[in-house]
Structure 1
Amino acid sequence: MNREQLFNLASDWFHQQGWKPFPFQTQTWTAFLQGKNGLLNAPTGSGKTYALWLPIVLDYIKKNPDYKEKHKPGLKAIWITPLRALSVEIKQSAERVVNDLGTQMTVGIRSGDTSASERSKQKGKMPDLLVTTPESLQLLLASKGYEKTFKDCSAIVIDEWHELLGTKRGVQTELALSRLKKIAPNMRIWGISATIGNLQQAQEVLLGMNSEAYRNSVLIKAVINKKINVISIIPDQMETYPWRGHMGLHLVDEVAKIIKASRTTLLFTNVRSACEIWFQRLLEKYPEFAGEMAMHHGSINRETRLWVEQAIRDEELKVVVCTSSLDLGVDFAPVETIIQVGGPKGVARFLQRAGRSGHQPGKESNIYFLATHSIELIEASALKKAVENTVVEDRVPYLNSWDVLVQYLNTLAVSDGFFPDEIYEEVKSTFCYQAMTRENWNWILNFIVNGSQSLQAYDEYKKVEIEEDGRFKINSRMIAMHHRMQIGTIVSDATLNVKFMGGGFIGTIEEWFISKLNPGDTFTFGGKKLELYRIKNMQVLVRKADPSKKSRLVSWMGGRMALSAQMSELLRQELYRANSDDLSPELKALQPMFERQRKESIVPNADEFLIETFKTREGHHAIFYPFEGRFVHEALASLLAYRISLLSPISFSLAYNDYGFELLSDQEINMQEVLDNNLFSTDYVHSDLQKSLNATEMARRKFRDIAVIAGLVFTGFPGKMIKTKHLQSGSQLLFEVFRDYEPENLLFQQAYRETFEHQLEEGRLLLALERIANQEIVWKQCEKPTPFSFPIITDRLREKLSSETLAERIKKMTASYMK
C-alpha cells in the first residue's frame, strides 16, 4: 500500500469514530511513516495516543500486505508509560485500532501488576504491541536472550516524557534506549510530552546527544487553543492576617455549591493528608454525598483506585478528592470541574490538573482555585497570567547519575553479559553521561567487579565476573535474584501494608507514622476509622474503630512542595502589581491585607528587597522576603544565620515558607552592621553553605537512596522488607567508610552533588542573591508583626499546639494586632 492508501485507512477509521484528525496527528503519521524519530508536544485530552498508535499499525500493514490472512508474531512496538494506572487505557486504545483495522496483532501489558502466569506466557510469546513501565523494560533487559526479543521492534514510544525528564527514571529510560538503538537499528523513537518549557532539550535528552536518531528527528507541536477558565474562590470576608493550616476548610460550603452544580468534580489537594481531611470534612458536613464521593491517592490499594477510575468514567461519582495520583493521562470525559486546594507550586502541574476537565478536543476546562490562606490568592492571580501566556517550567535533566549506571550495568551482566568497550560508546552517547571520562568508566567497572577500593575485602560487593572472552557477567543466582528484585530508581520510606485482621487489604502507610502509634490507638485512613491491633511482618493489622473515639489522621513524609522557579518569578511580578492601579480581582480582594501591610511596613516594588524586624514575647524577629520558594529559603536562612554569627556570637531558630524566612533570636541583630558587611554576597556561597547547613547529614540521607539504587544495600524480599532504620544504618556505615578512606568514590561524591543541586537548589540560590544585590534593601523596624510575616511566625506555633488551640491562639493574636 502507498502512503495515500494508508492515510485513507486511518482517516476512514477516524470518521467511523465520529472524529476528524487534527493537523498534528496527520503530521505525526507522515513523519513516522517516513522513518523519522520525534517528540510530539500536545495538550492533555487532544488525542495524542492515536497520533502514534495509528502509524505503528499502518507501518505493519505497509510491510505485510496480506495482513488480514497472515500474521507474523513477535514484538513490534513498545509503549512506555510512567504510571501503571494508565496502562489499561493505553492498551484499550491500541486494541480498538488493531481490531477495527482487521489486523491480527495482539496487545499486552508488562508492569508490576502483571501476574506471574501472564509473564511466563509472554516469555514464550511476546505480544506484538507491549505497554510497559521504565522499570519493567529494565527487567526485560535483565532476561536471557533479550536481543532476540527486541531485534525486530520497529517503534518505542515514551509517553508523558515530561514526567520522566529530570528524574532518575528518565536516566533509566535514556540508558535502555541507548541499548535498544543498537540491537534494533530500525526502531523509531518517539516521545509524547504535554506541558514543558525546554522542549528542544527534552528532544535531545530523549534521542541522545548528536546522535543519528536526533539528526533524523522532528518536533511536532499541536496548535490547539484549549480554553482554560481559572476561577478563584474569593471568601466574603478576607483575613487581614493570613495563616496556613486550616487548609481552606472554612470554604467547605462554597466547594459543596460547585460540586452540586457539576456533573463530576475532581478536588485536588497537594498532599495525601489534606486529601483525607477534605474527604472527612465534606462527608461530615454534607452526608448526602455518601455513595457519590470517593478518595484517590497513591497509598490506597490498587483495586479501590481502579474502581474509582472506572466509576468516574461511568459517571457514578459526583466528586473525587484526590492528589497527583490523578494528574496524568487517565481520560475522564465526564469530568466538568476541577477544584485546586492551595497553590499547586508550579504552572505545569496546574495546567495538567486543569486539563483533566473537559478532557476532549474542543471542550473548555474549568478549574477553581481555593486559597488555603489569603496570600495564596496572589498565586491564583499569577497562575491566570501563566495560563494566558502559556508560561511553563523547564525540566532539568540529571547528569552523571553513577548509581543508575551501576544498576544498569548489573542488569546487562545479569542477562547475557556485556563487553565494556561496546557499552561505553552507547552510554557516552546519552545526555546524562555525555561528560563521562574513561577514568570514570574504569572506576565504575572496577566497582561492579571488585567492590570499591575500600570494600575489596568483602565478597558481597563483588558482583560481576570477567569471563575469558572479556565479557562482564553475573553468574551467582543469588546476586541475580537480589538485583532483579531491586531494579528501579524510586526509593521511598519503607511502607507497610494495612490489612483488616480478617483479611482485606486497605492500602500502604509509611513506617515513620505507624511507629508513633501503640496498639489500641485509632487513626483515620482511606476514609475509615481504624484501630491498630498489632504490627507483624511489615503488616499493620487493624480492626474497625469505635466511631466516637478521637483519631489521628495519617500523614506522609515529603509532602511539602516548593515553588518552581517560574512560579516564583510570576508571583513576584504579581506582588509588585499590588502597588499599581492594574489590579486583578484577586489583588482587589486582598486590598484590606495590603493596606494593613503598608500601615505597618511596605509592599515592596520590583527594585526593592524587604526586611522586617520586630519584637514579640518570643524574642527578636528578623524576616526576609525573597519570594523564592521554601527550598531556596531553607538554604538562604541557614546561609545568612551562619554569616551573621561570624560577626557576633548569636544563635537563631529558623522558619520559612514560600514567601520568606525568619531568623528568631533572644538578642537583637545589629541589622545595619549586617547590611554593611555585604551579607548577600555571592562569594564563597558553596563553602558557606557547607559550613552553615549540616550538609554532611543531608548528603548521608541522600546517600541512602544512592546506595539502594546502586545495589550496595539490599532492601529485602517481598513481604519481608528490611526496616528503614536498618537500611539507614547500613548505608551510613558505607558513607562513613567512603568519607574516611575513599573520598574520591563517585557514589559518595554524587551524594554531595545531588544535595546541593537538587535539594538545596544552589543554582537558584545564587540567582536570588544576584537579584537581591541589584535591589535597594528596605529595612523596616516594625512595632508588631505584619500580615506578610504572620504566616511564617504562626507556622512555628503549629509544632506546639493542636489545630483547635492554634486557631484560638491566632484569633487572639490577630485581635491584638488589629488594635
Structure 2
Amino acid sequence: MSKTINQHIETGSRYFKQRNWTPFDYQIRCWKAFLNRKDGLVNAPTGSGKTLALMLPAALKISEKKDRKPAVKLIWISPVRALAKQIHQVGNELIESLELPINCGMRTGDTKQSERKKQLKSPPEILVTTPESLHQWIANPNTARYLKKVDAVVVDEWHELGGSKRGVQMELALAWLRDKHSALKTWAISATISDPGQSAEILLGSEVRASEVEIVKADIQKEISIETLMPEDIFELPWVGHIGIKLLEKVAEKIKGATNTLVFTNTRSQCEIWYQRLLEQFPELAGQMAMHHSAIDEDIRAWVEEALHSGRLKVVVCTSSLDLGVDFRPVELIVQIGGPKGVSRFIQRAGRSGHSPGQPSRICFVPTHAIELLEAAALRDAVQNEIRERPEPHIRSFDVLVQFMMTLAVSEGFYPNDLYNLVKSTYSYRSVSREEWGELINLILKGGNALEAYSEYARAGIDSTGKIRVLNKKIARRHLMSIGTITGDQALVIKYRNGKKLGTIEEWFVANLRPGEVFWFAGRALELIGIKGNKVEVSRSNASQAKVPAWMGGRLPLSSMMSETIRAQLLKLVEQNTIREPELSRLKPLMDIQLERSAIPVKNQLLIEYYKSREGYHLIVYPFEGRLVHEGLAALLASRIAKCTPITFSIAMNDYGFELLSAEDWEPEKLVDKTLFTTDRLGEDISKTIAETQMVRRTFRDIAMISGLLFRGFPGREKKERHLQSSAALLFDVFDDYDPGNLLFLQAWEEVKTFQLEEGRIRKTLERIANQEWVFKRPGKFTPLALPLIADRLRDRLSSEKVETQLRRMMAEK
C-alpha cells in the first residue's frame, strides 16, 4: 500500500477511536479496496456501519486534491429520500469532524429551488441523490457537465434497486458516466444480497469487470430475536382476515414495554386502520404516536423521522416507506403486522431495531389470521438457515431505454451509433440488435410505424451534425416532468382551505365520496369539501367514524423462497411426532380440523378440494406458490377446462391456492387430470390467457407512461385517470392492429408473463404437480385452508351482506 493510503486508514481509525468505536475488519477491507481504486460490493447486516465503510475513504480520497473548477467527484445513490437525507447528514458530519476542504450536497425531488440554483453555480464534490434526480442532472446540460469528472459511484441498498426498473435506470446512468470517465469506480451496498456474482454483473455491465470486483462480506452475525404474538387458544384468532386487530391488546403490551417501536404494515390502508385503533384503545399514546407512509406529505414524514430519531415519539405506524437504511438508533422493537411475503423484507424490517453495531434486532410477528402462523414458522426457519430471495433482474425494458434516449436528446443530444455501443455495455440491453435499435430511434423520431402520421409523437429530430436532439421546449419540459419509472393511479393532492398540504390520495377513491363525507388520512378525520382540478379540499372533522382510504396494488406476492419454506412447515405438522416450533404447536388444533374435514398436503402431494354451496360449485387447488403464480395457474386451468366442456368460471386466488367457481356441477374428478397441468404449449396457452384478461393492457399503460407515449399532464393540470386509461387503450389497439411487432407492445406481453404471471415459476410448479400424488377431497364443510381464499373473493364483491356474515353462513352449510 502507498504511504497516502496508510495515512488515510490511520485517519479513519482515529476518527473511530474519538467516538469510542472500533472499525470492523470488513470496514478496513473496504477502505483499502476503495483507496486502491477497485470496484466493489459490500454485504453487511443492517446497522453495522456500511455507510462509513465507503463514505470515509471516499471523502479522504477526494480531499487529496482540490480542483480549480467545481465538479462532482462522488455520486451516492439512495433509493429513497429519507435514506438520502441520513447519508447526507453522515457525510457532512464526517467532513466537519475531519475538517476536509470539500462539500457534501443532496439533490432529491424535495430539494428547494434555492439550493438547486446554488448547485448549478457550485456543485458539491459529494452528491447524494436518487436515480430519478441523477437522470434529471443528466438531462440538464448545465448540470450534466459537472458529472463528467465523477470518479466513483456508490449505490446504496442495491438489492432494492437491482430487481426493478429503477435498477435499469441506474445501469444506464452508470454506463453514461463510464463513457465520460473510463476509470470510474462503482460500489454497491446491501444487507441482503443473495447472489453477489450476478449483482456485481448487473452493476458493472461486464462479465470481465464483474469477475474482478472486490466482494466484501462482513463476518458479523446479526442476532435477530423473533417472537410471534399468539392467543392462548388458536380459536381466538380468526380463520380469515388481513388486518390483525384481534391481537391489538397484545401488540399494545409490547409497545408499552419498549422505549420506541415501529409498527410495520403491508399496505397504506392497513397503516391507517392500525393507527386509529391503537389511538382509540390507548388514548394516552396521543402525542407520542405518528404515522408514516408514502402518500403522506414529505414535510410531515420528515418531521416524523426527526421526532423518532430524537426520541420524542414512542410509536410510528408505517409501511415500506421506513424499510430502508434510515438511522433510527432509539428504536428498540419492530412489530410486523401480517406476513411480509418475503424473507429479505422481513430481515430488512427487523434490522430497523438495534440499528447500531453489536445491538440485537427484536421483531414481533402479528398474524392477521390463524393460517398465517405457517408464514411465521417459515420466516423463523428461513432466518435461522440464512435463506434469501434472489430478485429477477429486468432485461430489455425498452420503455426505460426510450426514456433515457429522450433524456440525452433533451440534454446535449447523442449520436445513434455511439449510444448503441454504450447501451450494449449494460447487463439489461446487451442482447439488443441493430434492427431493434433502429426501431427505437424511429420511435422517438417519428413515433414508430403505427404513429408516424401523428406529429405529436415525433419528439426528436436530427441536427446538421447527425446528433439526435429535442429542440422543442414544450416536449423537453414534458419529458423532464416524466423522468422516472414509478407509476401508479393518478393521485390528487389533499389540502386544507389555508393551502397546507397533507399528502396525496388516489383519484378513484375520492371520486366515490360526496361532499360532507369523512375519511381518515395521516391520523386525521377529514371532511371532504370538494375537488378542484387535482386538489382535494378538506377540513378537520370531529367524527369518530370515517371511511378508510384504499390504494390500488397494495398486496405483496409470496416469494418463491417463502413458498418452499411454508410447504416444509406443512410437512412438519404431519410427520413430526413432537413439534418444536411454537407457531406450529399452536396451529395444530386448527390443522387437526383440516385433517378431519379434508387433508394436509405434504411434500409430494397436491390437495384439491371440491365444494357445493349456495354460491355454486367450488374447485380449490393448493400449490402454495403465491398469489401471482396462482393467478396464472387459475386462468390457465380454466382456459384448458373450457376446451373440454362448455363452462364459465369465476377465479379467485391467495398465497396458498386458487379457486374456480362455477354455477353448475361439472364432475371435476372426470376432467381434472395431469394433462391439464402439462407444460406442453405452455407459452401459447399463457399468451391466450393474457389476451382474455386486462393484465396486458394495464401493464402497457405503465410502459406507455415510462416511455413518454402517455403524459400525465403538467403540475396543477394533471389528466384524469379515465383519460389516461382511454388513451392507453387506444394506443394498445393501434399497435395490436397495425404494428404488433412494436417493441413496447411486445414488452407488455413479456412483462406480464415474467413478472405478473411468473411464467418461469408456473412452469416449475406444473412440473412439480405432474410428479405429485393428487389428493382429491369433497369436504362437507369449508376447511381452514379454504376460508381465507373465500374471504378474499368476498371482499372484492359488492354485497349488502357483511363478509363475516357470509362466511359464517358458508361454514354452517353442508
Q: TM-score range by the shorter chain?
A: over 0.9
Quick one: distance in 2 between partners of 1:786 and 1:366? 34
Residue 198 (str. 1) matches residue 200 (str. 2)? no
Hey, what does 1:749 align to over in structure 2?
A: 746
Deviation at 1:316, TM superposition (A): 1.2
Q: Which residue of 1 aligns with 2:626?
A: 629
- Alignment match, 1:357: 353
Establish whether residue 547 from structure 1 lines up as the match of residue 543 from structure 2: yes
- Partner of residue 577, structure 1: 572
Q: Does 1:171 align with 2:168?
A: yes
1:381 aligns with 2:380: no
Unpaired runs of 5+ residues, structure 2, are none
Shift of 1:658: 0.7
Aligned-residue offset at 1:696 = 5.9
Q: What is the alpha-carbon distance in structure 2 between the residues aligned to residue 801 and residue 241 of structure 1?
A: 26
Q: Could you tell me which amino acid in structure 2 is paired with residue 567 of structure 1?
A: M
Instruction: Check whether the contact 2:141–2:411 (CA below 8 A) recurs between aligned residues.
Output: yes
Residue 55 of structure 1 corresponds to which residue in structure 2? 57
Q: Is the 8 A contact 1:333 1:358 kept in 2?
A: yes
- Separation in 2, partners of 1:56, 1:241: 53
> Deviations for 1:597-628, whole angstroms, at most 9, x for unmatched residues?
11111112211111111222222221110001
Code of the aligned partner of 2:240: R
8 Å contact kept, 2:227–2:364: yes
**Residues 321-374 of structure 1: per-residue CA shift (max 9 Å, x gap):** 111111001111111111101000000110000000111110011101110011
The aligned counterpart of 1:709 is 706
AA in 2 matched with 1:376: E
AA aligned opposite 2:671: V
3-state SS of the aligned residue for 1:720?
coil
Q: How far is 1:280 from its partner? A: 0.8
CA contact (8 A) 2:120 2:143 kept: no
Report Cα offsets for 1:117-139 as digits up to 9, x if no partner.
21122111111111111111111
Aligned residue in 1 for 2:32:
30
| 1:12 counterpart residue number | 14
* Pair 290,4 (structure 1): closer, same or farther in 2 beyond 3 Å: same
Q: Which residue of the partner structure matches residue 784 of structure 1?
A: 781
- 1:240, 1:596 within 8 Å by CA — same for their partners in 2? no
Q: CA offsets, 1:686-738, max 9 Å, x none?
A: 22223334456321211111111111122111121111111121122111111
Contact 1:270–1:344 (Cα < 8 Å) also in 2: yes
Inter-partner Cα distance in structure 1 for 2:538 and 2:604: 58
8 Å CA contact 1:407, 1:710 repeated in 2 = yes
1:510 to 506, 525, 549: 506
Deviation at 1:239, TM superposition (A): 2.6
Shift of the alpha carbon at 1:215?
Answer: 4.8
Which deviations, in whole Å up to 9, do the C-alpha atoms of 1:79-129 show, x marking residues without a partner?
111101122211111111112112121111111111122112211111111
42, 45, 60: which is aligned to 1:43? 45
The answer as to 2:434 corresponding to 1:438 is yes
Question: Take 2:477 and 2:796, find their aligned partners in 1: how far apart are those partners?
Answer: 44
Which residue identity lines up with residue 458 of structure 2 in the other structure? K
Mean alpha-carbon deviation: is it higher for 110-119 or for 169-178?
A: 110-119
Matched, 1:564 2:586: no
Q: Percent identity?
A: 49
1:243 deviation in Å? 3.2
Cα deviation, residue 237, structure 1: 2.0
- Kindly tell me: are residues 225 and 71 of structure 1, through their superposed partners in 2, closer, same or farther at Cα, counting changes over 3 Å? farther
2:417 to 415, 421, 424: 421
| Match of residue 273 from structure 2 | 277
The structural deviation recorded for 1:145 is 5.3
Q: Any stretches of 5+ residues in structure 1 without a counterpart? A: none
Q: CA deviation at 1:245?
A: 2.5
Return the offset for 1:813.
5.1
Q: Confirm whether residue 770 of structure 1 aligns to residue 772 of structure 2.
A: no
Q: Does 1:685 align with 2:687?
A: no
Aligned to 2:528: 532
Q: What do residues 140-196 of structure 1 show as CA deviations (whole Å, max 9, x unaligned)? A: 111115563123221111111111111111111100110100112232111111213
Distance in 2 between residues matched to 1:469 and 1:799, nearest whole Å: 58
Change (3 A) 1:122 1:785: same
Bigger shift: 194-203 or 316-325? 194-203
Residue 95 of structure 1, aligned match among 87, 92, 97: 92
- In the superposition, relative to structure 1, how do residues 229 and 802 fare at CA in structure 2: closer, same or farther (>3 Å)? farther
Which residue in 1 is equivalent to 2:288? 292
Paired with 1:236 and 1:246, the residues of 2 have a C-alpha distance of 20
| CA gap 1:257/1:483 in 2 versus in 1, 3 angstroms | same
Deviates more, 1:774-783 or 1:45-54: 774-783
TM-aligned CA distance change 1:433 to 1:582, over 3 Å: farther
1:462 Cα deviation after fit: 1.3
| 1:611 to 1:341, Cα distance in 2 relative to 1, 3 A | same
By how many angstroms is 1:670 displaced? 2.1
Residue among 253, 257, 260 paired with 1:257: 253
Match of 2:221 among 204, 225, 230: 225
Distance 1:337 1:240, change over 3 A: closer
* Cα distance in 1, alignment partners of residues 295 and 342 from structure 2: 23
Q: 1:505 to 1:453 in 2, by over 3 A?
A: same
Specify the alignment match of 1:334 in structure 2: 330
Alpha-carbon contact 2:237-2:369 (below 8 Å) kept: no
TM-aligned CA distance change 1:591 to 1:701, over 3 Å: same
- CA drift of 1:782 comes to 1.7
Where 2:290 maps in the other structure, the secondary structure is strand
- Give 1:582 shift: 4.6
Structure 2 residue aligned with 1:161: 158
| Alpha-carbon distance, 1:74 to partner | 2.5
2:455 aligns with 459
Distance 2:642 2:302 in 1: 55
The answer for the alignment partner of 2:130 in structure 1 is 133
Contact 2:137 2:144 in 1 (8 A): no
Correspondent of 1:725 among 722, 726, 730: 722
State the shift of 1:441 in Å: 0.7
Secondary structure of residue in 1 paired with 2:332: strand
Q: In 2, distance between residues paired with 1:182 and 1:547?
A: 59
Offset of residue 637 of structure 1? 1.0
Moved more, 449-458 or 352-361: 449-458
Helix, strand or coil: the match of 2:62? helix
Paired residue secondary structure (1:717): coil
Displacement after TM superposition at 1:815 (Å): 6.3
SS of the equivalent of 1:455 reads: coil
Letter in 2 for 1:9: T
Residues 796/696 of structure 1: CA separation in 2 closer, same or farther (3 Å cut)? closer
Between the aligned partners of 2:751 and 2:183, the Cα distance in structure 1 is 36
Is the Cα–Cα contact under 8 Å of residues 444 and 457 in structure 2 kept in the other structure?
A: yes
1:119 paired with 2:116, answer yes
Give me the TM-score of the superposition, normalised by structure 2.
0.97
Shift of 1:198: 2.1
**How many equivalent pairs are there?**
810
Q: Deviations over 1:617-666 (max 9, x none)?
A: 22222111000111111111111111112211111222211101111222
Q: For residue 746 of structure 2, what is the amino acid of its counterpart?
A: Q
What residue in structure 2 maps to residue 664 of structure 1?
661
Report the Cα offset of residue 266 of structure 1.
Answer: 0.7
Quote the Cα distance in structure 2 between the aligned partners of 1:312 and 1:72. Answer: 40
Of 317, 320, 327 in structure 2, the residue corresponding to residue 321 of structure 1 is 317
For 1:592-603, what aligned pairs fall within 5 Å after superposition? 592-603=589-600
CA distance in 1, matches of 2:492, 2:663: 43
Amino acid in the other structure paired with 2:556: M
SS of structure 1 residue aligned to 2:700: helix
CA distance in 1, matches of 2:726, 2:617: 39
Q: How far is the alpha carbon of 1:546 from its aligned partner?
A: 4.0
